[in-house]
Amino acid sequence: MSGPLDRARLRRGWRYRSAVAARVGLAAFGGYALAGLATAFLSLTLPMVRSEAVATATLISFAILAGAVIWVFTARTLLRAALGLGLPIALVGLGLWLALDGVAMGPPA
C-alpha cells in the first residue's frame, strides 16, 4: 500500500534528483563554457610565443574546469552556483572581447 509517507518520500526523491541533474548540467555546460573562454583569453594574453601560450592556456583550462565543477557542487543553492559561474563567464567573455579588439589577426604562428 502507498501511504502519505511514501508519496512524500517519492516527491522528495524526484526533487532531489532533479536538483542533482540541474547541477550536473550546469557543471558540464557552464564549466565547459568558462574553460573554453578562459583558454581563448589566455591564448591571446599570455606573454609568450603563440604556440606556447595556446598549450599553456589549454593546460590551465583543465584546472579551471575542475574548479568550476567543484564550485557548482559545493555551492549552497543552485542559484548561487549559477551566479557564481555566470559572473566569471561574463567577465572572461568581456576580457576576451577586449583582447580580440587589440590583437592583429595574421597567419598562424
**pLDDT at residue number 13:** 81
CA 53 to chain centre: 21
**pLDDT at residue number 16:** 87
Q: Which residue has better confidence, 14 or 37?
A: 37
Report pLDDT digits (tens) over 68-88: 999 999 999 999 999 999 999
Report pLDDT digits (tens) over 22-69: 999 999 999 999 999 999 999 999 999 999 999 999 999 999 999 999
- Looking from the CA of 73 toward its CB, the CA atoms found within 13 Å total 12
26: which 3 cell numbers?
A: 550546469
Fill in the amino acid letter for 2: S
* Rounded Cα–Cα distance for residues 40 and 57 (Å): 8
**pLDDT at residue number 67:** 97
Q: What's the predicted TM-score (pTM) here? A: 0.82
Q: Name the nearest CA neighbour of 86 among 33, 43, 36.
A: 33
